[in-house]
Copies of this chain bind each other. A is one copy, B any other.
Amino acid sequence: MRTSLLLVLLAFFNLTSISQNPDETVVRQIFDNALLNQDAYNNLTYLCKETPGRLLGTEASMQAIQYFEDYFHKLGADTVFRQEFKTKAWKHISTTVSIVDGEKEIPLRAVALGPSPSTPEFGIAAEILEVMGLDQLKAIDPELVKGKIVFFNRPVDLTNINTFRAYGGAVGQRARGPALAASLGAAGVLVRSVTTKFDTVPHSGSTRFDSLRVPCAAISFVDADLLTQKLSLDKNLKVRMNIQAEDLEEITSCNLIADLRGNVYPDEYIVVGGHIDAWYNTPGAHDDGAGCAQSADVMRIFKELAISNKRTIRVVLFMDEELFQSGSRAFAQYCADNNISNFLAMETDAGGFTPVGFMVDADDPIVENFAAYQELLEPYGIYYIQKGGSGVDIDPLKKQGVPLIGYRTDSQRYMDIHHSASDTMDKINIRELQLGSGCMAALIYLIDNYGY
């Protein structure tokens, strides 16, 4: 405790003047470089401005890949290549949802979930069955579900301090609700947006179907409140849904891989990455443009400071984290097929907010080994390095025995904007973004230097 207090105190001085060991000095240089360079911010600005809605299979997604491919070449990466793979895909065309109120219709702000099937050309109209979650729907007589539009209206628990946990507590109805409703003969599904923010912006997301599918969309927080209030006045209220989307049997897409060759163990890879794709309804600034910009920034920092990395630093920009996770599976398969030895994998997909810590998914001795670096990083805002889940894109590497690290940030604002049109560049603070690059580069430097 005393040491950690000391380190917090150090946070309030310029460490360059009092660094005592070489690691402190290098870590300080890493943060100085991160905070004075604007590449990450500029790259993220490009992603948001030029490639919004870059979902798997879109031109925007390949334009984003091309942009970073050019950037890594400019950085002087030793190798840059597209790791291609084939996958099914899904294309959103249009979504409209409205309350049928006698003669007039009251439009609801809605976004289709992926991969929702299309409704007939002129949509569907049906009565609403409101439930507060999966268990409540399971308890209802299937006869009452048939032909209805099931409305999952469970809100996020705002008292959960960590908004990712709050999200986890409410996302089940979005992820599995449509499949359950479909199995019970529902005509459609509406879901309250999984968000911490009381506003009119709907939040999309993925849902997992089995054999049966049903048209499904998320409506905004405010519109969910409106719908439940209207239902209290008229149990027979009807809602009209029109979703047009397209299933793509097989497309070719890719992950982008850029290497900075190691000087001692070039065949041992330290993977660091985020996902390049974003939902069709958002610029994806925090989810996960920020993670791509920061991962690329790690390589830039090593290059500019001429830090001699023993192992090969491999930046991977994963495709399709949002819809089918085809990119992460393809990367794991690629590593297995080529007997690639991944020494470590770090993912950043928690937004470009102020750093708070790292989660380590590995055996206890390795977790303790990494946790020892927390004191050195505490002056920069890393308050914990502890055992826990890492991230969706690197998770498949776990069965290959790769230690996994998930970068964590202050979660308070994330679920206000996640998967929505509000996840824009103006929500990015340049210092918060740059501190993330610094934290990731610093921990990778320490682990590469000392191993485990």
Spell out A's residues near B (CB within 8 Å). 1, 4-5, 8-9, 11-14, 31-32, 35-36, 157-163, 165, 196, 354, 357, 371, 379-381, 383-384, 386, 388, 410, 412-413, 416, 429, 431-432, 435
Contacts and interface: CB of A to CB of B under 8 A. Distances in A.
Given A354-B354, A412-B431, A412-B435, A14 B384 contact: no
B196 A431 contact: yes
Contact of A8 (B12, B13, B384, B435): B384
Contact of A431 (B36, B158, B379): B158
11 contacts: A1-B4, A4-B4, A4-B384, A9-B388, A158-B431, A161-B435, A196-B431, A354-B354, A354-B412, A410-B410, A412-B435
A386 B165 contact: no
A413 B36 CA distance: 16
Contacts of A158: 35-36, 431
A165 B12 contact: yes
A244 B113 CA distance: 59
Nearest to A378: B383
Nearest to A169: B14
B36 A159 contact: yes
Given A35-B159, A413-B429, 10 more contacts: A1-B4, A12-B162, A12-B165, A14-B160, A14-B165, A161-B379, A161-B435, A412-B429, A412-B431, A412-B435
Contact of A381 (B31, B36, B161, B431): B161
A384 B11 CA distance: 12
A413 to B, nearest CB: 5
* Copies of this chain in its oligomeric complex: 2
Nearest to A429: B413
B380 A161 contact: yes
A161 B354 contact: no
Contact of A159 (B32, B162, B381): B32
Contacts of A163: 431
A147 B379 CA distance: 45
A386 B416 contact: no
A370 to B, nearest CB: 12
A11 to B, nearest CB: 6
B11 A161 contact: yes
A287 to B, nearest CB: 17
A212 to B, nearest CB: 34
Contacts of A354: 354, 410, 412
Given A412-B354, A429-B412, A432-B412, A161 B31 contact: yes
Contacts of A1: 1, 4, 371
Contacts of A161: 11, 31, 379-381, 435
A386 B435 CA distance: 23
Contact of A14 (B11, B159, B429): B159
A335 B12 CA distance: 32
A431 B353 CA distance: 15
Nearest to A32: B159
Contact of A157 (B14, B160, B165): B14
A217 to B, nearest CB: 26
B431 A9 contact: no
A5 B384 CA distance: 7
A5 B435 contact: no
Contacts of A5: 371, 384, 386
Given A36-B158, A36-B159, A158-B36, A165 B13 contact: yes
A430 to B, nearest CB: 8
A30 to B, nearest CB: 11
Nearest to A16: B159
A167 to B, nearest CB: 12
Contacts of A9: 386, 388
Contacts of A160: 14
A383 B14 CA distance: 20
A397 to B, nearest CB: 23
Nearest to A29: B159
Contacts of A357: 8
Contacts of A416: 429
A152 B267 CA distance: 53
B159 A31 contact: yes
